[in-house]
Structures are given as C-alpha cells and as structure tokens.
A = this chain, B = another copy of it.
Amino acid sequence: MSPITASLNSELIHNSEILEVRELTPRIFRMRFHNSFLARNSLPGQFINIKVNSEYNPLWRRPFSIHQINSGENWADILFKVIGKGTDELSRMNPGESLDFIGPLGNSFTIKPDSMKVAYMVAGGLGIAPMLILGHALLKLEIHPMLFYGVRTESEFCCLDDFESAGIKVHLATEDGSRGYKGFVTALIESTLRDMPSTTGIELFSCGPNPMLLPLGTIADRYNVPCQVSLETLMGCGVGACLGCGVKANQNELKYLYVCTQGPVFNSNEINLSE
C-alpha cells in the first residue's frame, strides 16, 4: 500500500528550485526561483513567507515582498538585505537548492486606472523591493509611474537599471547627498508636490521604514493625494493566526489591523504609525 499523503493546496505551499542568488550591492541580494504559479498570479505588494532552514533556529518563516515576476520564463524574484540569521542563511543558498515558502500572501496595492493619472512610487531603502513588480503592473495598465527612491548613501541604491530599462523615471535622494537630492525622500516628494500646479490624479504608492511612512502620510494629506503604504512588522505566521503583526488603526477606539492578512498594504490614513 502506498503511503497516505495529505492533500495540500499547491497554489499556496511551494518548494521551488532556486535559479540564481546574486549580490547586487553589498549585502543586498536578489534571489530568483522557478515557480509558474507565482510568475502568473502574484499581485504587486504581496509577499511570500520563507522557511530558511529545516531547523528551529530561526523558528519562524521570514517574509519578503515579491520583487519581480516573469510569466514567460516562469520565475519570480525577491530582493533582500542581510540583516540577521534568516537573511544570512538565505543569502548562502545555491541554485538548484529548493526554496520552501508559502504564498502569495497578503493584499496588494490597489490600482484604479480610471481615477489615477500619475503614480508616484516612493521607496525607502529595501522598500524598493515591491516597486518593480508594481511599476510593471502600472505600465501594463498604461499608467505612467515615477520612482522616488531614497537611501542613506549612494552605494545602497540597487536595481536602478531595472526601472530605467522599463522606462520608469527615477528620482533619487541620499541622506548624505552623495547622489541626487540631499535629504530624505519624503522631502523630495514634498517639494515635488509643492511645485505641482495641481495634484489631482496623483497617487502615492510607498514602502519603507515607518519613520519614512509616517511623515509621508502627513504630506499626502496636506496635498490631498491618496497614499498607499506597504508595512513591515514582525510576523509569526503570515496567515492571520498568531495575531503578532498588528498596527494601530487610525480611529478613536483602540483597534488593531493585522499586516499579514489585512495588509501589508494600507491607505496611509487607515493606520496610526505615530508611536
């Protein structure tokens, strides 16, 4: 008698062959893996949750935004920075090895082709990760995206070619002024909006650290432009079960929204990042 196997949903539970692991800039890696389901069905803003080893250290999976997909060649990419044990192990994996992940998970950026004229994508640091898949999706809907991209210093930029070759105009900011606008990318956005005769039809799509997203929301309000933000929190499960990934909802009564299932993308005025 052949062994009994559990019937699992193969659209959400994956073991995919790693095709490439490449260090793009110091400590920032792109990992490409074969997966035709993801290559076809991932939405911009969605993420996958990866088990980096078969051990209990680290115990949890690690979440990463889907960075780029190619439905012709059946692969998907993530882009990640090595910051701790999980990402370190990930960076040491080799082509041919198998990537254990679940996903695509979470909601996605909402694109409204009718009301939207211009999409400003605002990325801080590794917040660049979901912007490429988003840019490609916007272009497909014939919305012209522009990228505003801030990092601390020039050497931290990555994937610029990918945006430029897609025809996406890129505006850079560095905190130390080593390239582009000197200062925070939020200031760059604000000055851009300030200079616009009208902000109607502009929407912001953003991903980055909370200290960047918080002022961005304020700016969006000030110029009356819709602003979607993709958030990062600790995640114990990624599927809505552990209740570990909450952010405060922006309302009087205390309420939490859960980033893994109700997000990671929120309207900036749905949430309260102020503490």
Interface residues, chain A, with chain B CB atoms under 8 Å away: 55-57
Task: Indicate how many identical chains form the complex.
Answer: 2
Q: List 4 A-B contacts (CB under 8 A).
A: A55-B55, A55-B57, A56-B57, A57-B57
A56 to B58, CA, bound (A): 10
A79 to B55, CA, bound (A): 26
Q: Give min CB distance, A82 to chain B, whole Å.
A: 16
- Give the shortest distance, in Å, between A57 (CB) and chain B (any CB): 5
Report the minimum CB–CB distance from A88 to chain B (whole Å): 11
Shortest beta-carbon contacts, A-B, top 4: A55-B57, A56-B57, A55-B55, A57-B57
Shortest Cβ distance from residue A70 to the other chain B in the assembled complex, whole angstroms: 31
Distance from A90 Cβ to chain B, minimum over Cβ atoms (Å): 15
Q: Which residues on B sit within 8 Å (CB–CB) of A55?
A: 55, 57
- Complex interface: chain B residues within 8 A of A57 (CB): 55-57
- What residues of B have a CB within 8 angstroms of the CB of A56 in the complex? 57
Nearest CB of chain B from residue A24's CB, rounded to whole Å: 24
Bound form: Cα–Cα A1–B56 in Å? 38
